Every structure is written in C-alpha cells, then in structure tokens.
Structure 1
Amino acid sequence: MTLRHRIISLPEIVGKGYRDFWLFKGRYRVVKGSRASKKSATTALSLIVNIIKYPEANVLVIRKTFRTLKDSCYAQLKWAMRRLGVEEWFDCKLSPLEITYKPTGQKIFFRGLDDPLKITSIAVDVGVLCFVWIEEAYEIMNEADFDMLNESIRGQSPPGLYKQFTLSLNPWNEGHWIKKRFFDNPDADTLAITTNYMCNEFLDEQDLKVFELMKEKNPKRYKVAGLGEWGVVDGLVYENWNIREFNVNDISKQEGVRSVFGLDFGFTNDPTALFCGLIDTEEKRLYVFDEMYQRGLINDEIAQKITDMGYAKERIVADSAEPKSIAEIRRKGIRRMRPSRKGQDSIRAGIQYVQGFKIIIHPQCVNFITEIQNYQWDEDTTGKKLNVPIDDFNHLMDAMRYAVEEYTRRERR
C-alpha cells in the first residue's frame, strides 16, 4: 500500500517523564508506576512507533493469562494508533488476536503464559521477533516463567535492530522477584524506573483530586497507588490459600460441592468484579475458578459478559447497595441474581467464615490472586492493626463474601 507521510510531535502526543524510557535500547526496560502514571499508554505508543520505524521488527505482547489481553493491551495498542493518527495503516483482528502492519506484514502477537507452547512456537513471516511487552508483570509470580520466555527470544538481529523486553507493573509487593532482579541489582542492560501520576499532564482536575484525597485520607495507600513506591504487605486477612490448576468439572461433580457466585459493582475508579467459585463445606475447601474484573461497565454490559461467560443461569449474590442495577441486570436475563443481605458485623462474620476454608485458586484468576495477596487488616495512626480490612484490593474479596453469604448465615444461627 502507499503511505501518506504523517508528521507528528512526539512530545505533544506522549508527554513528559519518559524520555529515558523511550530512548533506551538495552535488553530490559522495566517501569513500575502508580495508577494513572501513563506507563501502559507510553509503552503502547513506543511499540507502534517502533513497528513503523523498524521494518523487520515484530512484537509479542504477554500477560499471565491470554483472555485478559483483548480488553487491556490490545485495546491500548489500538488507542495508541489513533493517538498517532496511523490506525489506517494497521489491520486489527480478534480471531486470532493479532495486529498486522499493512505496508510490510509485520505482526504484533498476543499470548498468555498459561499456554507456554504457543509462545515458544511463534514463527514470523517478516523479519524477527524482537520486542516483548509484559503488561501487569506483577501477575507473574514465578521467576522461572519469565526465564522461559526470556530464553525463547533469541537469534541474530538485523543491523540497527535490537531485542528488548518491556515490563510494566503496579508495585504492590516489595517481596516480588522483579524488585530484586531489576530494581535492586540493575546492570548496564537494564533500565528500571518509577513513575507516578504527577508526570501525566493529561489528567484533569477531577483526576488529580482523587490522588489528593488519597494522600490526605489514606497516606499508606497513596505511597503505592499515588507515588509508585513498593508496597509492604503486612497483616494479610487471608493466609489460607494456594494457587494450583484443577479441573472445574471434576470438582463440581464431587458429592456436597456447590457453585457460588458473587458480584461487586464498580464503574469509573473501581472494577465490577464477579467471583466464581465452588464450595465444599464438609472438606472446608473453596475453589476459585473464574472471574470478571473490569472498569467502565454499564449494566447491559455486565449482563452480557455474565451471559458470555456461561453463568446466566447461576444464582449470583450481588451488592445490595445497588438495587436498581440488580433489577436492570435481572431484566436482561440474569434472573437468579439477588441482593446480598448485609447486616450488623457482616463483613467480619463473612471474613471469619472464609478464613475457616482452604482457598484453592486457579492460576487464570489473576485479579483474585493480586487482591488476596494484598488484602490486609487496616491500622490506626500509630500502626496498630484494626479488626477491619483496608478499603482496597477488596472487590473480588467482597464478591467472595457475597457468594458464600448463605453458608455464613447458616453457621451464625
């Protein structure tokens, strides 16, 4: 195809705060940042520019699980094309999920670490696979999974081209292997930076007010979610959990096992979260097998997503604070949804009940894993732990409590 030249000003489009990140050509560039630090947006912009700049370059985009890619990285890259004014130069497909640069046939591939064979078997028709973006790299709990991916990107690069991994993440836990490997002991082939919302000049006054209120009312959270500092995880609400694969159908057929679903509403700042589990009250086991976790969903979209996931006929207990939303979703075909029955001390009672179970989490439930390993008891100004959880990392945690509410109430009788 014939391209029309397009002249753009990268500083105006990308903004400030990422000059070293943009220009670095070493093997690893790692950016941890707060919410609204534009780390994912900047990464997407740089990859689109590099595809155009280097006619032999191909890109691989990774997350822990494949199904999370369409609504995150794929959407972010499409946004980057529009921002750069080059969307007509790209062909974006959902099946298979991939993006093609029309003038040359270069590709952007999308893969999940839940299927490692599909990563190691990628073959490109044009040029070489040289740029890798790992979004929400915090989800990769096992350093060996990263090593496997790292070792698979090899071979001679054409002159002027280079291989590079970009890891973008929220710094929830200072104990993560990424901190030790890239931030504590960086080498000449590594750029590890921290960014925050203050380098994002595209935020409006309302956006900034969210962080100012956080700074005032929750300074501990502000250090991580506002300033991008490493989080210190202390005093977890749940410690009775592990991550392992299991067959949902096999577990559901076991005697006494019942399905449990819970929904916590969100929209702009908080995600709508659907908890999908199986409960075995005799063996005291709670299996977490699926989840929905997405911001910006209106009620019609929530109903459609539940239907698409195959759970429209399930009994779903939803947050009773939004009766209108529950009624609307029921009219869209999710007829067994009902409100939770919140009562005095229901949060503490629900937590105590779940604490009596072994929680087994399927690896595909990456948002549940992130929440449960950061869901902590709150503390007062002196640092003393309180008997209430923090108001953060609690969307799927609340949905889980709603899901098992019926069993909690039975035990309290």
Structure 2
Amino acid sequence: MIEKEVNPHFESFLFNWKQKFQFLVGGYGSSKSYHVALKIILKLLQEKRTALIVREVYDTHRDSTFSLVEEIIIDLGLAHKIKCISSPMQIRFPNGSKIIFKGMDKPEKLKSINNVSLIWIEECSEVKYEGFKELIGRLRHPTLKLYMILSTNPVDEGNWTYSHFFIKNKGQDDQVIFLDDEELYKKRTVVVDDTYYHHSVADDNLFLPESYVQELEKTKVYDLDLYRVARKGRYGVAGKKVLPQFETKPHDQVMKEINAIYKPLYRNGMDFGFEDSHNALLRMAIDDKNKILYIYWEYYSRHKDDPEIADDLQEFVETKERIKGDSAEPKTIYYLKKRGINISGAYKPKGSRLQNTKKIKRFKRIVCSDQCPNTIRELKNLTYKKDRHGNTIYDEFNIDPHTFSAIWYGLDDYEVVDLKDKKETYKALQRLGL
C-alpha cells in the first residue's frame, strides 16, 4: 500500500491506461512531468515492464528525469527496494521491471533496445518528428499492451507536436483537424480515438508557491510569447508579429464595408511560383481616408504552367482588371499579357522587401475575408526571423509568405502616408516657402 498526495487535476491521468498515446501539454510548474514519472513508477511496480524515457539530449536526463524519478522513489519510501543506478542511468525494480534513459542525439543507442512496452518522451517538442516516428517503431512487446506518453510545454503551431496531435496544415485546403486545441484548453482533458489529451497550468499544482505563479504572471508585461507558453500553456505564434493589425471577418461583412467606402481604390497583386512556392493573386480594396486595406479574393495554386494559370484567370480577361506582378518573372507576365490579361511588372528596386513591409505596416487595419484561407494562414501569424544572436531581421520571415508578396506588388503605385509623413511633408513645404 502506497499513500501519496497528488494534484487533483492529475488523479484520473495517473490511473488511466486505456489509450496507447497520452499527450500532456501545459505551462511551467504545472507538475505534469512529476505526475508522468509517478505514473510510470506505479505501473512498473504492478507489472514487469521495461520503460524507456527519452529526451533529445541524453546528458539532460541526469538533472531532470533521472533525478525526478529518484526523488519520487525516495519520497515513497522505496529507495531500499528500487535501485537507482547513475552510470549508466537506470532504475531497477524488485519485480524485474526497469527504466532506461536514452537521448535522440545518440540514435545508435536505440538499436539495442528490446521489449520496450512503455515510452515517455519528455519535452517532446524538442525531439525531431523523425525521431518520434522512430520511437513508435521501437515500442513493441509480444504480450503487454503498448503505451507512449508525451509531455511538453507548448511552443508554436509550426512544431510537429501541433500538426500531429491537433491541426495538420492549418488554414490550408488540405487541413486535417484531429483536435482543436481550443477545445482542450476549455475541457482540460479530452480523448480522441486512441489518444488521451491533458492540459495543465501552474494553478493546477497546489504545491507550487504563490510567488512562482506571480512571477509567471509578470511575463505578460514584458514577453507575451513567454506568457502564452509559461502561464497559459497554449500553442500560438512565437516571435514578433509582422502585421499585428491583421484581422479576419465574414466575407459578406467585408464586402459591406468595402461598398461603404467613399471612392475605394482597387488593386490586384500577383506573386509567381511553381515547385516549392505558390502562385498568389489577391484582389484588394483600399479605404485611403481611414488607411484600411481590405483583402476580399484570392487565387492560390502550385505546380501549374503558364497556360494553366492563364486558363484559371480567364475572368480577368473579361473584366480587364489591372494586375501588378513580380517583375522577376518577365516570361510569365509576357505570356499572360498575350492571353489577354492586363498585367505588368511591379517596380522592384534593391531593398524593396524592407520598404514594402514598412509600407504595409502603416495601414491602421488590414481586414481579410474568411474566403481567403491561404492569406489568413500566411499573414495572421507571420513573424520576423531572428539571427543567431536573437536580433530581429526585418526583411525576413518565419515562412515564405506569397500572399504578402502579392500585396507588395499590388500596392506598387500606392503609398500609405501616415501622420508622421504628413508632418515631414508640411515641414519640407515650409522650408521651401510653399
């Protein structure tokens, strides 16, 4: 008989062995790692099993998972029965069960593992997706039921843990939803097929000092990304957003707002792609007075040659709408013009990426129709890249945003003049005596 006080939010998790995959995600200090370790110890006391605990780097086990398991064993008063061997790191139980520790930085060490029926991947977001799939192949036993437990602090939606357990290709035509992460944040525990999901935050750890929670709360003031991950335990976007003023609205509402603009300016911009990049054409409307950019239609394709693109854009032959395209593709522009499409190359001087980015950021609002899913996917969570020193690179992004390039080209002959620009213009005119 073992008596151990645990956090109530983890009670059902501790004794749930119904699902093969158990995915725990949460904020700092939520005690998810502690309860995973306790769960494994209790299981191995009951059944003779070999459990494998994995981290991306082997040497990080000693001060994390190994010391945690050892601490719990001592706390349970079982140190005289369960042996914690430090070199090589291993835990041996009196019934023949054992826990071995491995790192994905030494994959050759995994090949010698046999009859592993339980794997815990700690900080699984740090493990590469190929490594995760390799571990699934290592999970095998002739008679025992197999289990894999994964625990992590959430990172950004670009991480494989999000696309594998929540939403794959989010915002794209081939989007697949396994579980909407918002549903998990609301319900806290969810079961989908053979996967058990568990979400936790610092408030779920009743043994955590209040001062620690207060420190987590302070991150909201100076680092919203850290606050989202550490305090709220949620996936999202990591880094500084390029277009914080970007928003989406139902298509009918967008068109209603556009129709209410006094003399709206209409623009169309196109970026070209084929193999790794996409063709992106956007229809846009500008509220020049209020400095609002509306995006209300998109064309987005890949692996299409010039004739196929021209066929797709036949409506532009009939409407005669002007399109500004990437001048780096003169051959495609020439062909589309021959097919009757009113398209020309946009001005693209050196340094235009940075200048165009600054131009778009001057809009007070950027409103996108919900009928433009690829534009939303690329721009809603678009962030700046950082160099190896952590400095922001203001003309490079976390993805190659084809729709952003289409906006650049479409607004080639339009300048967003903000209040600061007007003041500078006024001062210049005064100096000239005008």
Report the TM-score, using the length of structure 2 for normalisation.
0.49
- The code of the aligned residue for 1:132 comes to I
User: 1:90 is matched with which residue?
Assistant: 82
Q: Aligned to 1:171, what secondary structure does the other structure show?
A: coil
Distance in 2 (CA, whole Å) between partners of 1:373 and 1:233 is 16
Q: Aligned to 2:38, what secondary structure does the other structure show?
A: helix
- The code of the aligned residue for 2:140 comes to R
Relative distance call for 1:19 and 1:110 in structure 2 (3 A) is: same
Distance in 2 (CA, whole Å) between partners of 1:228 and 1:195 is 7
Q: Aligned to 1:129, what secondary structure does the other structure show?
A: coil
Relative distance call for 1:205 and 1:234 in structure 2 (3 A) is: closer
User: 1:175 is matched with which residue?
Assistant: 158
Q: Aligned to 1:59, what secondary structure does the other structure show?
A: strand
User: 1:105 is matched with which residue?
Assistant: 96
2:10 is the counterpart of 1:18: yes
Q: Aligned to 1:110, what secondary structure does the other structure show?
A: strand
Relative distance call for 1:374 and 1:225 in structure 2 (3 A) is: farther
- Alpha-carbon displacement from aligned partner over 1:325-368 (angstroms, at most 9, x marks no partner): xxxxxxxxxxxxxxxxxxxxxxxxxxxxxxxxxxxxxxxxxxxx
Distance in 1 (CA, whole Å) between partners of 2:44 and 2:391 is 42
- The code of the aligned residue for 1:64 comes to E
Matches within 5 A, 1:93-242: 93-101=85-93, 103-123=94-114, 128-141=115-128, 143-158=129-144, 162-184=145-167, 185=178, 187-216=192-221, 218-235=223-240
Q: Tell me how far 1:120 sits from its aligned partner.
A: 2.6
Give aligned pairs, total.
228
Contact 2:52 2:119 in 1 (8 A): yes
Distance in 1 (CA, whole Å) between partners of 2:390 and 2:2 is 47
- Alpha-carbon displacement from aligned partner over 1:218-273 (angstroms, at most 9, x marks no partner): 4443221101011312349xxxxxxxxxxxxxxxxxxxxxxxxxxxxxxxxxxxxx
Instruction: Kindly report the root-mean-square deviation, in angstroms, between the aligned alpha carbons of the 2 structures.
Output: 2.8
- The code of the aligned residue for 2:117 comes to C
Contact 2:225 2:239 in 1 (8 A): no
Contact 1:31 1:168 in 2 (8 A): yes
Contact 1:58 1:130 in 2 (8 A): yes
User: 1:40 is matched with which residue?
Assistant: 33
Q: Tell me how far 1:105 sits from its aligned partner.
A: 2.5
Contact 1:157 1:163 in 2 (8 A): no
- Alpha-carbon displacement from aligned partner over 1:378-409 (angstroms, at most 9, x marks no partner): 9xxxxxxxxxxxxxxxxxxxxxxxxxxxxxxx
- The code of the aligned residue for 1:83 comes to D
Distance in 1 (CA, whole Å) between partners of 2:7 and 2:147 is 22
Q: Aligned to 1:49, what secondary structure does the other structure show?
A: helix
Matches within 5 A, 1:259-298: none
Instruction: Could you tell me which runs of 5 or more consecutive residues in structure 2 were left unpaired when the two chains were aligned.
Output: 168-177, 180-191, 242-385, 394-434
2:23 to 30, 42, 55: 30
Contact 1:172 1:374 in 2 (8 A): no
Relative distance call for 1:144 and 1:122 in structure 2 (3 A) is: same
Q: Tell me how far 1:188 sits from its aligned partner.
A: 1.0
Distance in 1 (CA, whole Å) between partners of 2:387 and 2:141 is 40
Matches within 5 A, 1:368-383: none
User: 1:402 is matched with which residue?
Assistant: none
- The code of the aligned residue for 1:110 comes to F
Larger Rg: 2
Contact 1:233 1:376 in 2 (8 A): no
- Alpha-carbon displacement from aligned partner over 1:58-85 (angstroms, at most 9, x marks no partner): 2101011211111111011011212322
- Alpha-carbon displacement from aligned partner over 1:82-102 (angstroms, at most 9, x marks no partner): 23222221111122211101x
Identity %: 28
Runs of 4+ in 1 over 3 A off after TM superposition: 215-220, 371-378
Relative distance call for 1:100 and 1:174 in structure 2 (3 A) is: same
User: 1:270 is matched with which residue?
Assistant: none
Distance in 1 (CA, whole Å) between partners of 2:139 and 2:40 is 17
Q: Aligned to 2:64, what secondary structure does the other structure show?
A: helix
- Alpha-carbon displacement from aligned partner over 1:34-75 (angstroms, at most 9, x marks no partner): 110111111111111111111x21210101121111111101
User: 1:314 is matched with which residue?
Assistant: none
Q: Aligned to 2:113, what secondary structure does the other structure show?
A: coil
Contact 2:49 2:96 in 1 (8 A): no
